[in-house]
Amino acid sequence: MTSVIENIFNYQDQIGHEIDFIYEAELMNRSLYDLKEIEGIEGSKPYKAEWKPLNYFKGNLTVKLVPDGLLELLQDGTDGRYIKRLSKR
């Protein structure tokens, strides 16, 4: 585990609270890094995930990386584009 983020947020006019445990991991199937999209299932709901450079989220008012503080945590361990290693906090 590299960090813990406490997140208090507003969603659909309700206050939410969560504790996020941030881990550094690598995908066992390394070919997934080469795909533009990855299909997954959370519970019974399918979804598509896309790889985005961290700079995509910086200053972009149309998207938000959550939880608050995650972007800054990730940027601390980067060369500006890709995550090299997260530093423990």
For the chain, which residues make up each domain, given as ranges? 3-76
> pLDDT (tens digit, 9 = 90+) per residue, 24-59?
888 999 999 999 999 999 999 999 999 888 889 988
Question: What is the average pLDDT across 9-21?
Answer: 93
Q: What pLDDT is attached to residue 3?
A: 85
Q: What pLDDT is attached to residue 74?
A: 85
* Model pTM score: 0.68
Paired tokens of 33: 């890094």
- Which residue in this structure is represented by tokens 């507003």? 10
> pLDDT (tens digit, 9 = 90+) per residue, 59-79?
888 998 889 889 988 887 655
Say if strands 14-22 and 37-42 run parallel, antiparallel, or are unpaired: unpaired
DSSP code at position 57: T
| CA quadruple 12, 60, 68, 53: dihedral sign | positive
pLDDT at 13 > cutoff 90: yes
Which of helix, strand or coil describes residue 63? Answer: coil
CB 77 within 8 A of CB 85: yes
